[in-house]
Amino acid sequence: MFSLKGVRHRYGAREVLSLERFEAAQGDKWLVLGPSGSGKSTLLHILAGLLHPTSGTVEVARPIGIVPQKLHLIASLSVEQNLLLAQYLAGAKQEPARAAQVLAGVGMADRAGDRPHQLSHGQAQRVAVARAVMNRPKLLIADEPTSNLDDAHCAAALDLLEAQAAECGATLIVATHDARAKPRFAHRLELGA
């Protein structure tokens, strides 16, 4: 669940985001579409609490899971340790059984001991989704999860995000410039450049 009212954000004199109202109920699936520079990442950063808007009010259910555009897996940690790190950073008890369950849910149960450099891009993306849902988020955010993917892998990435959001009962927000995602989402916010 989230609610943004009168949210505007500026970088210097340039306004990059202006939303009078943007709200979602728990379990909704939203697609945020727009070209590069349209404010998609700024909006996601505001929803995630990583950026305070220049003006407006923001209410967001927590915890939040984030699948960033650059996956940011820790190279020196195993796949399982990358997932447990999410719980550690949230101040939650580390649950290896939860990590095993989530990895199984994304088809990566047999890679728990691997390091990120041993994974393909698609496998690393699955691990990033698994890490994002470790803390059973109320809001799951994905930034450009289909960039550089062919049609089959694009569909698989969106299937995975939808399945994991449904399992947590999370509201899902996918931000992309990729029009292939459009038919899958009844709720869409289109941002202009």
Residues of the chain with pLDDT > 70: what percent? 99
- Which residues are paired to 15 by β-bridges? 10
Q: Which of 109, 141, 150 lies closest to 126 in space, CA to CA? A: 109
Whether the predicted pLDDT of 36 surpasses 90: no
Q: What's the CA gap between 100 and 127, in Å, rounded?
A: 11
- Give dist(CA 132, CA 97) in Å, integer: 16
How many Å apart are CA 31 and CA 43, to the nearest integer? 12
pLDDT of residue 193: 58
Measure the CA–CA gap between 76 and 56, rounded to whole angstroms.
40
The Cα–Cα gap between 146 and 22 comes to 23
The pTM score is: 0.94
3-state secondary structure of 140: strand
**pLDDT value at position 192?**
84
- Of 20, 75, 64, nearest in space to 172 by CA: 64
C-alpha 143/C-alpha 39 separation (Å) is 12
Other beta carbons within 10 Å of 152: 8
The pLDDT tens digits for 19-29 are 999 999 999 99
Summarize pLDDT for 61-72 with one digit per residue, the tens.
999 999 999 999
Give me the pLDDT at residue 48, please: 96
| Residue ranges covered by each domain of the chain | 79-135
